[in-house]
C-alpha cells in the first residue's frame, strides 16, 4: 500500500490517447490518460466507464447530444452507449473501468491499445 501522486504520474508521459494503469481494485483499473483532438465513435458492450477530468475540458459526444465535462467533474458512460471523446485542448483525466476494457471498444484501429503500461 502506498499513495499515488497523480501529478507525478502524469508528468511521466506526454502522448495522447494512450491510457496508463496506476491502480487496480475489485476487478477495476484506475487509469490516467492525456487526450487531444477527436477519438473514434465506439461503445463497450459489457463495461461502464467513468471519465474524471483532472485538467482541461472534455466534450463527450453521443449520437443525440454532447456533454461538456469540466475540471473536477466526471461522466459515466453506460455499457452499450456509443460515444466519442473530444478534447479541443489537452485534457488530463482519470478513468475507472473493468480490467481488460479495450480503449476503442468495438472498434479496432491504430488507436487501439491492447497492452497498457503500468506506472
Domains in the chain, please, with CATH? 6-98 (2.60.120.10)
Cell numbers given for 105: 471498444
pLDDT at 64: 97
pLDDT at 104: 67
55 or 109, which is more confident: 55
pLDDT at 105: 72
**38 contacts 84 by C-beta, under 8 angstroms:** yes
pLDDT at 114: 73
**What pLDDT, in 10s, does the model give residues 60-109?**
999 999 999 999 999 999 999 999 999 999 999 999 999 888 776 777 76
How far is 104 from 114, CA to CA, in rounded Å?
10
β-pair partners for 30: 23, 96
Residue 35 predicted with pLDDT over 80: yes
Amino acid at each position: 500500500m502506498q499513495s499515488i501522486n497523480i501529478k507525478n504520474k502524469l508528468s511521466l508521459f506526454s502522448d495522447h490517447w494512450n491510457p496508463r494503469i496506476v491502480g487496480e481494485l475489485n476487478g477495476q483499473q484506475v487509469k490516467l490518460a492525456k487526450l487531444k483532438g477527436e477519438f473514434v465513435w465506439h461503445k463497450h458492450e459489457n463495461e461502464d466507464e467513468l471519465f474524471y477530468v483532472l485538467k482541461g475540458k472534455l466534450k463527450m459526444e453521443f449520437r443525440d447530444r454532447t456533454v461538456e465535462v469540466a475540471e473536477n467533474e466526471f461522466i459515466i458512460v453506460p455499457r452499450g452507449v456509443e460515444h466519442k471523446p473530444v478534447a479541443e485542448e489537452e485534457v488530463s483525466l482519470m478513468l475507472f473501468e473493468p480490467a481488460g476494457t479495450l480503449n476503442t471498444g468495438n472498434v479496432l484501429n491504430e488507436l487501439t491499445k491492447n497492452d497498457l503500461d503500468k506506472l
